[in-house]
Homo-oligomer: A and B are copies of this chain.
Amino acid sequence: MADPAEDNEDEAFGITDRLVAEVLAAVEAEDAAALSDLLEPLHPADIAHLLEQIDARDRRRFLLVQSGPLDGDILSELDENIREEIIAQLNPTELADAVRDLESDDVVDLVEYLGDQQQEAVLEALDAGDRVVVEQALSYPEESAGRHMQSELVRAPEHWTVGDAIDFLRSDVVLPDQFYHIILVDPRLKATGYVTLGRILSHPRAMPLRDLVEDTFRTFHVTQDVEEVAQAINHYHMITAPVVDDDDRIVGVITIDDAMAFLEEEAEEDILRLAGVGEGSLSDRVIDTTRQRFPWLAVNLVTAIFASMVISLFEDTIAGLVALAVLMPIVASMGGNAGTQSLTVAVRAIATRDLTGANVWRVIRREVLVGLINGLAFAVVMGVIGIIWFGSPMLGAVIAAAMVINLVVAGLAGTVVPVLLERLGIDPALASGAFVTTVTDVVGFFAFLGLAAVWLL
């Protein structure tokens, strides 16, 4: 047995390297009882995490050895591509058993990308009422609040008192696993406010609920982008975001824990896109990863060839002074780095809504100024290095001037490119890097070799 007291601090949550090894040994020995003992104390999120860390062959054998139906919560917690792999190994009945007790948003999350046959099987396994809810959610656009909300919530007529609410909750009504607010509705089910459970518990039975509502009450439309809802939950410190339909009737809620997971995924996506990795995850197969990264490298190749063509314009200049070939990558590299700095700040500021129409000009001016000051600083450094290394003040002057030009252009392109892409409806995290690097490579080589051709030869 794994002893939690021996957990290595560096390891993830409840899963130590030793536990992984013990689980693999039990799977190897096809010892269902030992496996069950090892898994019994673990949270579904931990079992999912463990499954993500072993390879596909071991996962297949794990599923064969483990006894009894798979816990639907484990499926919910899995990375999307590993989840697909495991679902593909379940027959429709096993799958239906696994999802039956999940909340509606988790069921939707599980079935939305399943094949028709599997999706059908899962939907048929649900109660009629749950099925309607899931089908309704699937009818909303991907990434909308309606698609990601859970329909389980507690609402009450706005004329109720604390006592009415308590009596209702104590009756044999089915309640969500977790809920933190009661949402007040008018006779036409229009949401009018919400009350925290803490306030209900701390007031006498006769107190009308409407006197206890929170100051601020915001609702979100079913078609609203779920990322916007998650950002609002974070911004306004909400625990529950009520989702309403066209008639302002409450149809579901998005809870803060789902919003938190969602924002984590979005930040992750931005990081990976900025690095040209797309949707990659450690659990992808080698061939999938290779395919995902290929297009980004191909774009980079086009960029690099473009830069090479600029260099080839100056072959005679380089032939006349080979030192130029030695120094030219420095100017391009510094521009590329400065451009990446500016564009990363801009891309994130757009994502977090800190860069808006109200301050875009100020930000552009600021980045250009930063580029100018750092350009001047490195111009001095490189000028001196040029003189010392190659003994040529003019070569020093050329590289210094090219450095200033390229760092100013880097600041400008690093801000303008993401802003323009955003206005054109293109994800700036995805496409900015290639554009900005092309600009700084071309400008860097052209300025350095061009000035050299004019001043030196």
Q: Please, how many angstroms separate the alpha-carbon atoms of A327 and B311 in the complex?
A: 9
Give the residue of B201, B239, B280, B370 whose beta carbon is less than 8 angstroms from that of A286: B370
CB distance B198 to A179 under 8 Å?
yes
Question: Once the chains are docked, how many angstroms separate the CA of A13 from the CA of B354?
Answer: 11
Q: Is A268 an interface residue (CB 8 A)?
A: yes
8 Å CB contacts to B: which residues of A192-218?
A: 196-198, 200-204, 216
- Residue in contact with A301 in the complex, picked from B319, B330, B370, CB distance below 8 Å: B330
| Dominant SS among interface residues on chain A | helix
Q: Is A90 an interface residue (CB 8 A)?
A: no
The reply to whether the CB of A349 lies closer than 8 angstroms to some CB of chain B is yes
Of the stretches A92-100, A121-129, A131-139, A255-263, the one at the interface is A255-263
Q: Determine whether A300 belongs to the interface, using a CB cutoff of 8 Å to chain B.
A: yes
- In the bound complex, what is the Cα–Cα distance between A228 and B24 (angstroms)? 26
Task: Pick from A27-35, A64-72, A108-116, A335-343 the stretch touching chain B.
Answer: A335-343
> Is the Cβ of A277 less than 8 Å from the Cβ of B20?
no
Query: Which chain A residues in 353-378 approach chain B with CB under 8 Å?
Result: 353-359, 362-363, 366, 369-370, 373-374, 377-378
In the bound complex, what is the Cα–Cα distance between A40 and B261 (angstroms)? 33
Is the CB of A130 closer than 8 A to any CB of chain B?
A: no
Segment of A143-151, A229-237, A242-250 in the binding face: A229-237
A1-57 with Cβ < 8 A to chain B: 10-13, 15, 17, 20-21, 43, 45-46, 49, 52-55
Cα distance A170–B205 when bound, in Å? 10
A276's partner among B236, B237, B341 (CB-CB below 8 A) is: B341
Cβ contacts under 8 Å, A381 to chain B: 301
Q: Mark A151-169, 1 if CB is under 8 A from B, else 0.
A: 0000000000000011001
Contact B333 A300 (CB under 8 A): yes
Cα–Cα, bound, A315→B326 (Å): 8
**Cα–Cα, bound, A15→B349 (Å):** 15
| Cβ–Cβ < 8 Å partners of A270 in chain B | 271
- How far does the alpha carbon of A235 sit from the alpha carbon of B44 in the complex, in Å? 10
CA distance A354 to B343 in the complex (A): 28
Residues of chain B contacted by A319 (CB below 8 angstroms)? 319, 322
Alpha-carbon distance A10/B360, docked complex (angstroms):
14
CB distance from A279 to the nearest CB of B (A): 11
* Closest Cβ–Cβ distance, residue A194 to chain B (whole Å): 13
Chain B contacts for A370, CB-based, 8 A: 286, 289-290, 293
Given A271-B274, A340-B275, do A345 and B282 touch, yes or no (CB 8 Å)? yes
Is A431 interfacial (CB-CB < 8 Å)?
no
Residues of B within 8 A of A203 (CB): 170
Residues of B within 8 A of A357 (CB): 10-11, 17
- Interface residue A81 (Cβ < 8 Å from any Cβ of B): no
The reply on A88 being an interface residue by CB < 8 A is no
Residues of B within 8 Å of A52, CB to CB, are 354
Docked Cα-Cα span, A268 to B264, in Å, equals 10
Name the CB-closest residue of B to A224. B9
| Contacts known (A348-B268, A366-B286, A366-B289); A13 close to B235, Cβ less than 8 A | yes
Kindly state whether residue A189 has any CB partner on chain B within 8 Å. Answer: no
Further pairs besides A178-B198, A277-B344: 13, Cβ < 8 Å: A10-B357, A13-B231, A201-B201, A239-B257, A256-B257, A268-B348, A272-B344, A280-B341, A282-B359, A290-B373, A290-B374, A293-B341, A304-B329
Residues of A in contact with B (beta carbons under 8 Å apart): 10-13, 15, 17, 20-21, 43, 45-46, 49, 52-55, 165-166, 169-170, 175-176, 178-180, 196-198, 200-204, 216, 231-239, 256-257, 259-261, 263-264, 267-268, 270-272, 274-277, 280-282, 286-287, 289-290, 293-294, 296-298, 300-301, 303-305, 307-308, 311-312, 315, 318-319, 322-330, 332-334, 337-338, 340-341, 343-345, 348-349, 352-359, 362-363, 366, 369-370, 373-374, 377-378, 381-382, 385, 441
25 contacts between A and B (CB under 8 A): A11-B356, A17-B358, A43-B236, A45-B235, A46-B235, A49-B235, A49-B353, A170-B201, A170-B203, A170-B204, A256-B260, A267-B268, A268-B352, A277-B345, A282-B366, A286-B366, A286-B370, A290-B370, A290-B373, A297-B341, A301-B382, A308-B329, A311-B326, A324-B325, A329-B441
